[in-house]
Structure 1
Amino acid sequence: MPTPDPAGDLVPDLTAVVPAGGSGTRLWPLSRAASPKFLHDLTGSGRSLLQDTVERLRPLVGDRVLVVTGTRHADAVREQLPDLLPANLLVEPGPRDSMPAIGLAAAVLERRDPEAVLGSFAADHVIEQPEVFRERVHQAVRAAREGLLVTLGITPTRPATGFGYVRVGRALGVTGAPQVRHAEAFVEKPDAALAAEYVSSGTYLWNAGMFVVRAGTLLELLATRHPRMVQTLRRVAEDPSAIEELWGSLPRISIDHAVAEPAAAAGRVAVVPAPFGWDDVGDFSSLADLLPESAEHPGLRVLGPGHLVVDEGSTGLVAPRGGRTVVTLGLQDVVVVDTPDAVLVTTRQHCQDVKGLVETLRRTGREELT
């Protein structure tokens, strides 16, 4: 187990749960169903997003990291995380959305330690200022010990329409956690005008899907509306060999819809404002914002070998991943992603539409590319 840092970050009753699923279709053709974005280095750090996530959590939890992933990605996760304890890789036979995945981890943790606190953090997000992140997780854990479901709400930097929001209420006065506040409601993705209103009000935070809660509390909250799911998850935790038989009976539902929204309405949810840099790397436009401008190619962000790019007068993002030279000439806000079997050429303005393009490929019989 890693030695805690001098600030005493290690939290003895906290286990990190890392759901590693999805296919990141807006980052096609880099991200594919068989090799989703969390397995890729998208920031130039030399580590995948999954590896960065686990390294960020190590000072808080040591080796108490549970990764939940699908069957087709389990070997890649093991390869990328060789220090992960074998019992801490939970493999889903098929995708059922975030609630079954996080719920299974909660049921496993509950059996190991009835007082265990879990912190759920996606495998494919980028977080800056890790020391601020750890301090806010500490506050969230203190509130979770009081029986609350706690979310880390990201301070908005723009009126984004691609994220859900949390409406922030009164301070809760949790000892040692001065920033913990009542979460009045979770709000769906707004339109542009409503998003601007949310941000200007100062009472809304982005919902980044980061939750801290006692494992038993999460299952208790889930059981209020989905008792059969809790029964099934506990059966699988007791007998892992039953997962193949039982997993398909679980509904496809997110943790937001299954637990967070109804629990907020019942006054059981707290929010910790999280003033650190955060990005879910949702598309190539957001990825371009994360990458530095190329010293060799001013105006361009380059993800991959810079010597494969030849440019004159262009701006945007180029990802030369196919081993070929990519030439751009006089294009503004261009996005070029070159892989061995597919090339994407679009603009930053249309990056959100890439998901629909992937659906078109599937519909037209080109599933081998997705």
Structure 2
Amino acid sequence: MSFSRHLGSPLATQPISGGPSVSNVESMFTQILEVVLKSRAEIAELRQECTELRQANLSLERQVREGIVSAQMRSPHIGTPGFNTPAPSSPQLRAKTPFLNSNSIPSLGVVPSVHVASPLGDNRVSYSPFGPIREIPGFYVVIPAGGAGTRLWPLSRENHPKFLLDVTLQGRSLIQATWDRLVPLSGADRLTVVAGPAHVKSIHEQLPDLLPQNLFCEPGPKDSMAAIGLAAAILAQRDPDAVIGSFAADHMISGTDAFLTAVAEAVQVAQNGYLVTIGIAPSHPSTGFGYVRLGDKLSIPEAPNARLVSSFKEKPDARTAAAYIATGSYRWNAGMFVTKASFLMELLREYKPELEEGLTRVAAVWDDEIQRNKLLEELWPTLEKIAIDNAVAEPAALEGRVAVVPATFGWDDVGDFSSLAELLPAEANQPRILGDTGLVLTEQVAGGIVVPGSGRLVACLGVDDLVIVDMPDTLLVTTRARSQEVKRLVKKAKDAGWRRLL
């Protein structure tokens, strides 16, 4: 600056007649400059604090609204009001596809979920044998990610099933929420996914941290035993002492602490030589779920809630389901299994030897892509299609080799549009809306769910408890009471030549 250059001249040290010396002026300006710089830094800090306070207030307001909505719903499910979350895209108004993709799912902060503990638990849900550290040594997560997209059709399709959708408006698809929930237990290096070839690309897009060697691609659907058995066979080759836990990609969980505690207990039981399932405390007499009957308590100090499984029960009628709940001795069977990988293969060798032999052969060459593909092409079509419950859990339970950890977290398999409606917010006696609320007009309408996925206006007058799914290529209209029968329509559409819409 010219002033600095002047101060640096020979005259800089000469006093000015009748006033302070130049050196005093320089010192004064230096002090002023320091005060200005300090004030500027303090102003920047204040602005940052204001920004953080605004963000905290917005987060608090969102949580309060969610808590109010959940209280109004009086449900143990996760509150999902969808504040500050974009609606599903529309091909006419927003994007070319009605389905979510990795670009349309923004990263949101984790919002605490609403959890209502069940009175059926024997011990406090905060117990964890691993203390505050959630990662469990030697524990491998297996996420079977399959499905034909029939139960939520036409919202979900074969090539874009429900686990790839953000059906709760929280900004994360179901498989992303499953990843978020389970990765603290295993880390990314021990979290695996089993999926079909049609879904591999989408899964990698939605789970960028999933290691390529941890995505096991099965050539075709063979039900849960082949999928979980394939992962168990591969992981047993990698780590003979591996304990695996299988958790579906498309289920909703509320009460994360209770869930993680139940898994930690299940791992302890599995290390004692059991196939372990996690039993969900039933909130109502559902006819859509299987049940587990609790047997005698196990004497495992690290797993105080664990019991033997007395028996597995298929989906009951309404009267039988109500009788189950009245006894207090039954839990929903959510299909969550924890066991040593080697023990699962041992059970499979005993009850389904041909299936075990085939999976073991595939696992032995898994790291050699050429041999793997050749063997899968030859062998996979010959493997038996059967669920893990029927293949090993039920016969092993009769011999006292299956245990259950009764859990207290909220759970839903989002099995139809009726259960999906329970996860969405709504005003009292109003329909639930999955998507842009501005595209739905109602008059004297109570209950139900509307999915305005086409971009058109959906207007409803004087109809109650309807399911309306308006997609660009398909319109579904049914009732909540019959929403579990949607897969029958999918079969009829296939038989009628509408394969391209499935």
Which whole-Å CA distance do the structure 1 matches of 2:174 and 2:312 have between them? 27
The percent identity for this pair of structures is 55
Tell me which of 455, 459, 462 is aligned to 1:327: 459
Tell me which of 189, 192, 197 is aligned to 1:71: 197
CA-based RMSD: 1.3
Tell me which of 369, 373, 376 is aligned to 1:243: 376
Secondary structure (helix, strand or coil) at the match of 2:151 reads: helix
**Structure 2 residues without counterparts, runs of 5 or longer:** 1-129, 367-371
Which whole-Å CA distance do the structure 2 matches of 1:274 and 1:6 have between them? 18
Q: Given the alignment of the two structures, is residue 312 of structure 1 paired with residue 443 of structure 2, yes or no?
A: yes
Secondary structure (helix, strand or coil) at the match of 1:161 reads: coil
> Contact 2:232/2:345 (CA < 8 Å) preserved in 1?
yes
TM-aligned CA deviation for residue 83 of structure 1: 0.7
Q: Given the alignment of the two structures, is residue 53 of structure 1 paired with residue 184 of structure 2, yes or no?
A: no
* Larger Rg over CA atoms: 2
Q: What's the counterpart of residue 216 of structure 1? A: 342
Q: Given the alignment of the two structures, is residue 300 of structure 1 paired with residue 423 of structure 2, yes or no?
A: no
Q: What's the counterpart of residue 43 of structure 1? A: 168
Secondary structure (helix, strand or coil) at the match of 1:17 reads: strand
- Residue 174 of structure 1 aligns to which amino acid in structure 2? I
Secondary structure (helix, strand or coil) at the match of 1:124 reads: coil
Secondary structure (helix, strand or coil) at the match of 1:281 reads: coil
Q: What's the counterpart of residue 171 of structure 1? A: 297
Kindly provide the CA deviation profile for residues 98-135 of structure 1, in whole angstroms up to 9, marking residues without a partner as x.
00000000001101111100000000100001111000
Which whole-Å CA distance do the structure 2 matches of 1:225 and 1:147 have between them? 17
TM-aligned CA deviation for residue 307 of structure 1: 1.6
Tell me which of 404, 414, 438 is aligned to 1:271: 404
TM-aligned CA deviation for residue 148 of structure 1: 0.3
Q: Decide which moves more: 22-31 or 175-184.
A: 22-31
Segments ≥4 residues shifted beyond 4 Å? none
Which whole-Å CA distance do the structure 2 matches of 1:325 and 1:164 have between them? 39
TM-aligned CA deviation for residue 244 of structure 1: 2.3
Q: What's the counterpart of residue 106 of structure 1? A: 232
Which whole-Å CA distance do the structure 1 matches of 2:246 and 2:436 have between them? 34
TM-aligned CA deviation for residue 259 of structure 1: 0.7
TM-aligned CA deviation for residue 62 of structure 1: 1.1
Which whole-Å CA distance do the structure 1 matches of 2:468 and 2:450 have between them? 5
> Contact 2:149/2:160 (CA < 8 Å) preserved in 1?
no
Q: What's the counterpart of residue 490 of structure 2? A: 358
Secondary structure (helix, strand or coil) at the match of 1:71 reads: coil
Kindly provide the CA deviation profile for residues 237-267 of structure 1, in whole angstroms up to 9, marking residues without a partner as x.
1113122221111100000000100110111
Which whole-Å CA distance do the structure 1 matches of 2:295 and 2:351 have between them? 25
Q: What's the counterpart of residue 121 of structure 2? A: none
Q: Given the alignment of the two structures, is residue 367 of structure 1 paired with residue 478 of structure 2, yes or no?
A: no
TM-aligned CA deviation for residue 175 of structure 1: 2.1
> Contact 2:297/2:305 (CA < 8 Å) preserved in 1?
yes
Which whole-Å CA distance do the structure 1 matches of 2:308 and 2:283 have between them? 22
Which whole-Å CA distance do the structure 2 matches of 1:314 and 1:25 have between them? 27
Kindly provide the CA deviation profile for residues 70-94 of structure 1, in whole angstroms up to 9, marking residues without a partner as x.
0111111111111100000000111
TM-aligned CA deviation for residue 210 of structure 1: 0.2
> Counterparts of 1:9-48 in structure 2 under 5 Å?
9-48=134-173
Q: Given the alignment of the two structures, is residue 181 of structure 1 paired with residue 307 of structure 2, yes or no?
A: yes
> Contact 2:453/2:471 (CA < 8 Å) preserved in 1?
yes
TM, length-normalised to structure 2? 0.71
Q: What's the counterpart of residue 285 of structure 1? A: 418
Tell me which of 2, 7, 22 is aligned to 2:132: 7
> Contact 1:66/1:88 (CA < 8 Å) preserved in 2?
yes
Kindly provide the CA deviation profile for residues 325-347 of structure 1, in whole angstroms up to 9, marking residues without a partner as x.
11112211111111110011111
Which whole-Å CA distance do the structure 2 matches of 1:107 and 1:189 have between them? 30
**Structure 1 residues without counterparts, runs of 5 or longer:** none
Q: What's the counterpart of residue 234 of structure 1? A: 360
TM-aligned CA deviation for residue 6 of structure 1: 8.1
TM, length-normalised to structure 1? 0.96
Kindly provide the CA deviation profile for residues 138-157 of structure 1, in whole angstroms up to 9, marking residues without a partner as x.
00000000010000001111
> Contact 1:23/1:37 (CA < 8 Å) preserved in 2?
no
